[in-house]
Amino acid sequence: MAEQKERTFIAIKPDGVQRGIIGEVIKRFETKGFKLVGMKMLHAPQDLLEQHYIDLKERPFFPTLMKYMTSGPVVAMVWEGKGAVKTGRVMLGETNPADSKPGTIRGDFCIDVSKNIIHGSDSVDSANTEISLWFKEGDLCSYSSCAASWLY
Ligand code: IDP
Ligand code: MG
């Protein structure tokens, strides 16, 4: 069996969805060369978000974060390709948009750390944990049956 390519979990947060930035995010990951292997839109339940952000449970902004993330639907995606986790984080920019360079998603489309429009896994381990939290294995696609070998 072919070696599993690196995958990262990317989610467009409720403000990104409401502001119409879904297509822009997909365009950036797609044209960069990553492959979309899973995508769904959902109004994420609180218990899923509590698991997703378990490491931040004790932080003072946690209740605000939960309110923000349940304020509307999110678009959850899995992108695959060489260095998807690290490159994905570079494409997102810093957690605080004020520290994010122009050309990054947060640098181009938001100004406030509490409304920073997008999530991206910060390590391969957390990517795997987050992917299995948000998706069932059968939900994810494989391109292995494609005739042409992929460039990336
Ligand atoms: P990351 O999303 O860049 O990985 P984390 O430190 O994991 O950043 O924080 C998760 C999310 O929590 C951030 O993306 C942001 O939505 C929110 N957050 C982080 N720090 C703050 C803060 O100081 N105030 C309000 N919200 C914050
Ligand atoms: Mg994080």
pLDDT in tens, 113-137: 999 999 999 999 999 999 999 999 8
| Cβ count near 61 (within 10 Å) | 11
The CB of 122 under 6 Å from ligand 1? The reply is yes
Number of other CB atoms surrounding residue 54 within 10 Å: 10
* Alpha helix ranges (H) inside the chain: 14-18, 22-32, 46-52, 62-69, 84-92, 105-109, 124-134
Joined together, the tokens standing for residue 118 give: 């997008």
Average pLDDT over residues 30-41: 97
> Ligand 2 centre and the CA of 72: distance in Å?
20
Beta carbon of 65 within 6 Å of any ligand 1 atom: yes
Q: In the CATH hierarchy, which top-level class contains the domain 3-137? A: alpha beta
For the segment 54-97, what is each residue's pLDDT rounded down to a tens digit?
Answer: 999 999 999 999 999 999 999 999 999 999 999 999 999 999 99
Asked if residues 119 and 105 have their Cβ atoms less than 8 Å apart, the reply is no
Is 43 a catalytic site residue? no
Question: Using DSSP, how many helices (H) and how many strands (E) does the chain show?
Answer: 7, 4
Domain ranges of the chain: 3-137
Mutating to test ligand 1, I would choose from 67, 71, 114 the residue with most ligand atoms within 8 A of its C-beta, which is 114
Pick from 2, 44, 13, 11: nearest CA to 29: 11
Identify residue 71 by its one-letter amino acid code: S
Amino acid found at 34:
F
Specify the residue with its C-alpha closest to ligand 1, atom 8. Answer: 95
Q: Which of 100, 119, 121, 130 is catalytic?
A: 119
Q: What is the spatial distance between Cα 74 and Cα 78, in angstroms, rounded to a whole number?
A: 13
